[in-house]
């Protein structure tokens, strides 16, 4: 049983690692969306300032009019980009939350299996210790039934748990 639990534990650990990697990837995508939205907002603000500066410098001539038109186009494009990135943000936040939930579920499952494996190992160890103690007790009982002049020497006696001899 312990072997199958250990296999399940390894599978759970791998699944947890994959879920963590997916969570990190989704979070990176969200950070990218937020960064691009902030860049677009900054670009829109800078373009708007240049547009106002062009209006302030306006003199008779076509050059300021053309400059104003270019800045207005740049501003509109930057606003459109910012809105597009902001529209993607809620969907990406939902993906991050989904990935976080999967990661935490996988982590919880791995920890549960890990505790089962530890319990199984502890039970096996305790059972082995009990069996060893039983063998030692049986040996000692068999020696008490023999006559005192036929007792074996201490070197011939079996060792107890961990190579230590148990004294009664």
Q: What is the pLDDT of residues 31-48, one digit of tens each?
A: 998 998 888 888 888 887
For residue 153, give both structure tokens.
């020497």
Which DSSP category does 57 fall into?
A: T
Report whether 103 contacts 16 (CB < 8 A). Answer: yes
pLDDT at 168: 47
Query: In the chain, which stretches have pLDDT less than 50?
Result: 168
93's CB contacts (< 8 A; 6+ apart) are 30
Structural domains present in the chain: 2-147 (1.10.287)
Q: Which residue has the tokens 């079996």?
A: 158
Report whether 29 contacts 92 (CB < 8 A). Answer: yes
For residue 64, give both structure tokens.
């300021």
């Amino acid at each position: 049983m312990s072997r199958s639990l250990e296999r399940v534990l390894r599978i759970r650990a791998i699944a947890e690692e994959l879920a963590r990697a997916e969570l990190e990837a989704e979070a990176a995508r969200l950070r990218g969306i937020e960064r691009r939205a902030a860049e677009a907002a900054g670009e829109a603000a800078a373009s708007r300032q240049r547009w106002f500066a062009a209006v302030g410098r306006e003199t008779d001539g076509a050059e300021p009019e053309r400059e104003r038109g270019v800045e207005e186009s740049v501003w509109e494009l930057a606003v459109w980009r910012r809105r597009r990135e902001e529209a993607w943000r809620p969907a990406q936040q939902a993906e991050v939350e989904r990935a976080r939930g999967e990661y935490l579920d996988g982590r919880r499952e791995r920890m549960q299996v890990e505790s089962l494996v530890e319990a199984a190992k502890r039970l096996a160890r305790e059972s082995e210790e009990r069996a060893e103690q039983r063998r030692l007790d049986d040996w000692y009982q068999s020696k008490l039934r023999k006559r005192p002049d036929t007792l074996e020497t201490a070197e011939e006696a079996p060792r107890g748990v961990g190579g230590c001899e148990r004294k009664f």
